[in-house]
Amino acid sequence: MSANPQMISLVRELRRMTQTHLAEAVGVRQGFISMIEAGVRDPSDEVVRLIANALDCPVTLLEEQAPVRGGEAQDLHFRRRKTLPVTERRRMEAKLHLSYLTVRGLLSGIDYEPSLPLPTLDIDDIDSPAEAARLIRRLWRIPTGPIPDLTAYLEAAGIFLIPCSAPSKIDAVTRRCEEGWHVTAYNKGMPVDRDRLTRAHELGHLILHERYSGADAEEEANEFAAELLAPADEIYPHLAGITTRDLGKLIDLRMHWKVSVPFFVHRAADLGCISERQQRSFYQLLNSHGLMHQTVDHQLPPEQPTLLTRIIDVHRTTHEYTLDDLAESARMTPQRFGAKFGLPQHKAADATTSRSSKLKIVR
Ligand SMILES: [Zn+2]
């Protein structure tokens, strides 16, 4: 199979290499790389191998023919996208595409089916994004109160959460896939409460914005996320009549609901519990206490995605895959695969725990 010119430029940009750098590493002229990436010249197998080496990826990644999608596509969502430099946006798109290829590769040979439904709703057919969130709570039989582990629900619905290093402006990007599962590449440097809000927001996009992603999409996803994590009828009694003297109460709410303090201030304003002036006073207060942009979090336990790890385990126990096999399926080098997903400690000969490759995702 021949290399896909799009994949070469995608991986090159992801590695922050110019065409000149790549040409030097391969031992050809920059113009030659340029022609390869433009699809004008077909590189020999040997040149493709050298390019793959220079880009620290397997040749099979460069041969991937799945179309690379662009940021204009409605299935890509960036929180705070307006202030994001184009190059960073392209890099995040590239990470999402590689995450998709990794999941697709690791799912081959696995009988995988999500255990929770993930409906798509037309925003015109429902009252509001909040109504969609209430529907999901009912459909997924989420008990009243805080959602203890949102990540487990998302994974049960077939959403693969892939950690990525990304600038602080990027929280997550999501791709709706035709395969019946979906991929969210998320910034691995976020505190737990922001992580949860981000994941709920991305879920909102998957449910509400299948065909259309208008100017209001971000607001709609935010409204969905707020109602999913802290339903208005449950949270209103706690926020009614709140004043800036009640900061301790907001911190308690954060610990209980595992959503940030600024979130609750915003929620209180949305629900009419505080005025705009009070909201500003609250934000000043949070700023002075360093609660506006919390980065470190030792109090709330993190929500770790486990779906892909469980799939990797099935390959190791049932298929007796080695690290090299796993990396090959994931379209990564063994070193990169090990760094991202952890090195297998043993070749797992314990076939009694998992005889079948049918993966049942049970909550
Ligand atoms: Zn968004």
User: pLDDT tens, 150-209?
Assistant: 999 999 999 999 999 988 888 898 998 889 999 999 999 888 899 999 999 999 999 998
Distance 238 CA to ligand 1 centre (A): 28
Asked whether residue 75 is domain-assigned, the answer is: yes
Q: What is the DSSP letter of 162?
A: E
Residues 278 and 180 in one domain: no
What is the reported pLDDT for 36?
97
d(CA 109, CA 358): 9
Distance 214 CA to ligand 1 centre (A): 11
Residues 248 and 115 in one domain: no
Asked whether residue 299 is domain-assigned, the answer is: no
* Phi, psi values for residue 169, rounded to 5°: -75, -20
Last residue of a domain, one of 65, 80, 99: 65
Residues 238 and 190 in one domain: no
Distance 200 CA to ligand 1 centre (A): 10
Work out how many domains the chain is built from and give that number: 3
Residues 59 and 94 in one domain: no
Last residue of a domain, one of 65, 83, 113: 65
Distance 143 CA to ligand 1 centre (A): 26
What is the reported pLDDT for 74?
39
Distance 1 CA to ligand 1 centre (A): 37
Asked whether residue 155 is domain-assigned, the answer is: yes
Distance 360 CA to ligand 1 centre (A): 30
d(CA 336, CA 52): 13
Half-sphere exposure of 326 (CA within 13 A, CB side): 28
Distance 79 CA to ligand 1 centre (A): 5
Residues 256 and 147 in one domain: no
Distance 95 CA to ligand 1 centre (A): 17
Distance 146 CA to ligand 1 centre (A): 22
DSSP 16-66: T--HHHHHHHHTS-HHHHHHHHTTSS---HHHHHHHHHHTTS-HHHHT--S
Residues 79 and 194 in one domain: yes
CATH code at 9?
1.10.260.40
Residues 160 and 257 in one domain: no
Q: What is the DSSP letter of 264?
A: H
d(CA 264, CA 267): 5
Average pLDDT, the chain: 88
Distance 55 CA to ligand 1 centre (A): 31
Burial (CB count <10 Å: 0-12, 13-18, 19+), residue 48: buried
Residue type, 361: I
Instruction: Encode pLDDT of 94-134 as tens digits.
Output: 999 999 999 999 999 898 999 999 999 988 889 899 999 99
H-type alpha helices, 146-216: 150-156, 192-208
Residues 324 and 359 in one domain: yes
d(CA 70, CA 241): 46
Residues 32 and 149 in one domain: no
Asked whether residue 300 is domain-assigned, the answer is: no
Structural domain of 20: 1-65
Residues 350 and 201 in one domain: yes
Q: Which of 46, 29, 49, 41 is nearest to 5 (CA)?
A: 41
In the predicted model, residues of the chain with pLDDT beneath 70 are 70-83, 212-213, 294-298, 343-363
